[in-house]
């Protein structure tokens, strides 16, 4: 696949969320609703800000309540788990880069990685400079991995978008647009490949049927191991 086929767009701004409260028999569930014109199904995500239900643009609010009740056990378990605290970045801090620890050091010039040291530009706030570096690197790396796996799997996406969605590593639309979270650059390469393969498989099956998982398994036999890594370590990728 030629890399010029894909366009890379920056993370989209999220619409302002609406706050709601669902009263059940013996408990109250506070949640926010996020509208997405790109979604056809309902999504759930839990972050430090609490529970968010992502609804298709025209879906009624009642759909959010039904989603909460159907996933109530999972929601309560996730809400009970302590959220990781945000790391205060400073010179000497350790950050993840493709599964390996790198040490931050302030330096003149453009942010760059040299062996075990991530030299960060002094011209911007540390977190801002790091974010720009990870996003810039993600564009090139994700295009390369999409190109490789597209050829292997015979599935061609239309466009690549970078995402900043918390707790959502990737998505694929019916039009063939793929979104990958730039924070995945902190995960091991095999985990990134799993997410790329997962989203490419949706070009053939826009669901999570047995046929879908068969396509994933054909390209990534150890996909369960990589998915488990994300479940166990995914919160670390949002530590700063």
Domain that residue 71 falls in: 15-80
Q: Is 54 part of a structural domain of the chain?
A: yes
Q: What is the mean pLDDT of residues 113-132?
A: 92
**Among 123, 226, 141, CA closest to 183:** 141
Is the predicted pLDDT of residue 100 greater than 90, yes or no? yes
Residue 38: per-residue pLDDT: 77
Min mean pLDDT across 46-50, 115-119, 126-130 is at: 46-50
**Among 225, 222, 130, CA closest to 185:** 130
DSSP label at 4?
G
Q: Is 37 part of a structural domain of the chain?
A: yes
Task: Using pLDDT thresholds of 50, 70 and 90, give the confidence band for residue 225.
Answer: very high
Q: Is 104 part of a structural domain of the chain?
A: no
Residue 12: per-residue pLDDT: 42
Q: Is 171 part of a structural domain of the chain?
A: no
Q: What is the mean pLDDT of residues 191-199?
A: 98
Average pLDDT, the chain: 88
Distance CA 153, CA 150 (A): 5
Q: Is 45 part of a structural domain of the chain?
A: yes
Q: What is the β-pairing status of strands 177-181 and 170-172?
A: antiparallel
Q: Is 179 part of a structural domain of the chain?
A: no
Query: Hey, which of 39-48, 113-122, 181-190 has the most confident mean pLDDT?
Result: 181-190
pTM, entire model:
0.70
Q: Extract the runs of DSSP E, i.e. beta strands, from 11-121.
A: 18-23, 28-36, 43-47, 50-56, 94-97, 100-107, 112-114, 117-121
Q: Is 66 part of a structural domain of the chain?
A: yes
More confident site: 34 or 17: 34
Total structural domains within the chain: 1
Q: Is 129 part of a structural domain of the chain?
A: no
Residue 45: per-residue pLDDT: 85
């Amino acid at each position: 696949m030629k890399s010029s086929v894909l366009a890379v767009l920056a993370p989209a701004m999220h619409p302002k969320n609406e706050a709601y409260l669902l009263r059940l028999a013996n408990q109250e569930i506070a949640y926010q609703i996020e509208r997405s014109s790109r979604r056809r199904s309902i999504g759930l995500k839990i972050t430090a800000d609490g529970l968010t239900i992502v609804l298709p643009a025209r879906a009624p609010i009642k759909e959010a309540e039904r989603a909460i009740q159907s996933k109530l056990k999972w929601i309560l378990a996730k809400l009970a788990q302590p959220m990781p605290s945000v790391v205060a970045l400073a010179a000497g801090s350790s950050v993840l880069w493709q599964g390996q620890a790198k040490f931050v050091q302030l330096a003149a010039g453009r942010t760059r990685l040299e062996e075990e040291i991530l030299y960060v530009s002094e011209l911007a706030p540390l977190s801002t400079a790091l974010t720009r570096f990870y996003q810039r690197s993600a564009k090139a790396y994700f295009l390369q991995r999409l190109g490789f796996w597209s050829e292997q799997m015979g599935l061609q996406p239309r466009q690549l978008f970078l995402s900043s969605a918390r707790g959502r590593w990737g998505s694929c639309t019916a039009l063939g647009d793929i979104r990958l979270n730039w924070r995945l650059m902190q995960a091991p390469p095999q985990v990134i490949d799993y997410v790329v393969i997962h989203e490419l498989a949706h070009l053939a099956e826009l669901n999570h049927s047995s046929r879908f998982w068969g396509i994933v398994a054909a390209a990534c036999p150890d996909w369960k191991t990589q998915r488990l890594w994300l479940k166990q370590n995914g919160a670390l990728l949002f530590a700063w």
